[in-house]
Homo-oligomer: A and B are copies of this chain.
Amino acid sequence: MTAGSTDTTSEGVHPRPRGGRMPRRERRVQLLESALEVFVAQGYHAAAMDDIADRAGVSKPVLYQHFPGKLDLYLALLDTSCDLIIDNCREALASTTDNRDRVTATMRVFYSYVASEEGAFRLVFESDLTSEPDVRERVDRVTTECASMIADVIRTDTGLPDEASELLAVSLVGMAQVSARFWLAGGGQIAQDDAATLIAGLAWRGIRGYPMTDDH
């Protein structure tokens, strides 16, 4: 180990070598990668444009030649991450017609998303720029869209009213999202797939059998 490390107070990150020149397209994606790392590690407000530029091994003007401002950069990354989870969620729901498998597949999507190396999920689930309407709209859209797709299935298969279906769907999304984040913070006490399966079991037991009223 390069021990030490980890006091990320402000810089534990080593900038890339300073010299290289590179074509625009390639430079752009590299800047996006660097920005993602910094935003994930520090949050939006604590992240300085200097940090991002340094992290990429370039100076600030180049950064501004690729992106008009800090917010645009953030929104670009946020959009990518939002689209990723929504698309994966859609695919999971379409991957089978068995609802039990649907629940499991969707739960796995959330755990994979949270476990992904880059940590881009933090931009969506732990954003510190929710006061900005553009950000708020995108963040909310993740929950809303995922829940809406799930609600379609619930409504179709149970005949519950729209509002109830949506609310149930949102609660399943909340379950997935919060438990996945907590699982990640726990640091791997439970294997990823075991955790996803456990929570999927909980969700399926809850949702199956609607709209019959209940036990007694």
A residues with a Cβ closer than 8 A to B are: 42-43, 45-46, 100, 126-131, 140, 143, 147, 163-164, 166-168, 170-179, 182-183, 185-186, 189-190, 195, 198-199, 201-209, 214-215
Contacts and interface: CB of A to CB of B under 8 A. Distances in A.
Given A128-B129, A130-B126, A178-B178, A171 B199 contact: yes
Contact of A45 (B45, B175, B183): B45
B130 A168 contact: no
B46 A198 contact: no
Given A43-B130, A43-B131, A167 B143 contact: no
Contact of A163 (B174, B177, B189): B189
A48 to B, nearest CB: 12
Nearest to A213: B201
A214 B206 contact: no
A174 B173 CA distance: 9
- Report how many copies the assembly holds: 2
B131 A42 contact: yes
A168 B205 CA distance: 13
Contacts of A43: 130-131
B198 A182 contact: no
Contact of A182 (B167, B183, B186): B167
A182 B145 CA distance: 13
Nearest to A132: B46
15 contacts: A42-B131, A45-B45, A128-B128, A128-B130, A164-B190, A166-B186, A167-B179, A167-B183, A167-B199, A171-B202, A174-B179, A175-B178, A178-B178, A203-B206, A208-B215
